[in-house]
Amino acid sequence: MPPPRKTHVLDQSQFDQLLAWLDDDREAAGRRYEQIRWRLITIFAARGCTTPEELADETIDRVARRVSDIANEYVGDKARYFFGVANNVHHEYLKQPAAAEIEAPLLDEREDKERVHDCLERCLSRLAVEDRAMLLRYFSQEKRAKAELHRAMADEMGISINTLRLRILRLKQKLQPCVERCLERADIF
């Protein structure tokens, strides 16, 4: 389904007002903005929408346009306001005719595995030795053996398996932008 029709393009002053409404500190407001955006995308994706990013941006745009009206009156968790607007955006989305679903091609049809491997190698080398070792060990087993390995790793490190997973997630979040930047560059030679 195509996203709801955009009625307005957000300008810089409206965006600034939105950030100021989210938090007095601009950096904290920026982080909050990213958090809310990710959560809205997840919500729309969980509802089966095929364009969750666009729907999330439309939601944020509409809230930004209303901030000047509600900033002095709205009381409560600001995220809930986004939720109400997101529901309206979703209802409009459902009313529009469904577009044909196009399955995104998977990795081996789109990407040069060699380049990804090389970029990953470069980015892994920038991690601390022990972080790199932990990450590669975490991914080293197949299927069922992996769960046992993760439990063993958590026991060895004296942490819960959830904490181990969180550490792995943080490392992956560090690797992700590095790999993306590397892939955007020209060939190594």
Partner 1 sequence: MAEDREQFSGNGSAVPDDVLRQYLLCVLDADTRLRLDERLLVDDEFAQRLSLAESELIDDYTGGRLNAADRTQFVRRFLVTDERRNALRLSTALNAFAESESAPRSVAAAAKESKPSWAESFATFFGFARRPGFAFAGAAAILLVVVGLIWLINRGAQQSQPRIATNPPENPAQQQPQTEPSPALAYSQPSPDVKPQPKGSPPERSVSPAVATLVLLPGALRSSGNMARIAVPRGEQDVVRFNLILENAGDGPYLAELANANGQTVAVKKDLKPHVNGQTKITFEIPARLLQNDDYQVKLQRKTDGKVESVGRYYFRALQE
* Cβ at position 56, least distance to partner 1 in Å: 9
* Cβ at position 142, least distance to partner 1 in Å: 7
Among 86, 22, 35, residue whose Cα is nearest residue 56: 86
Residue closer to partner 1 (CB basis): 48 or 158: 48
Tokens of 16: 């600034």
Alpha helices by DSSP H, 96-160: 107-110, 113-125, 129-138, 143-157
Residue closer to partner 1 (CB basis): 73 or 77: 77
Instruction: Determine the distance from the C-alpha atom of residue 166 to the mean position of all C-alpha atoms in its chain, rounded to a whole number.
Output: 16
* Cβ at position 13, least distance to partner 1 in Å: 25
Residue closer to partner 1 (CB basis): 19 or 82: 82
Site residues for partner 1 per CB under 8 A: 35-36, 38-43, 45-53, 77, 79-80, 82-83, 101, 103-104, 106-107, 111, 113-114, 116-118, 120-126, 129, 133, 135-140, 142-144, 146, 162, 165-166, 168-169, 172, 175-176, 179-180, 187-189
C-alpha separations of 162 from 24, 142, 166 in Å: 34, 20, 6
Residue closer to partner 1 (CB basis): 35 or 68: 35
* Cβ at position 154, least distance to partner 1 in Å: 14
* Cβ at position 139, least distance to partner 1 in Å: 4
Residue closer to partner 1 (CB basis): 68 or 87: 87
Rg value, the chain, Cα: 21
Q: Is the dihedral of CA 50, 54, 58, 59 positive or negative?
A: positive
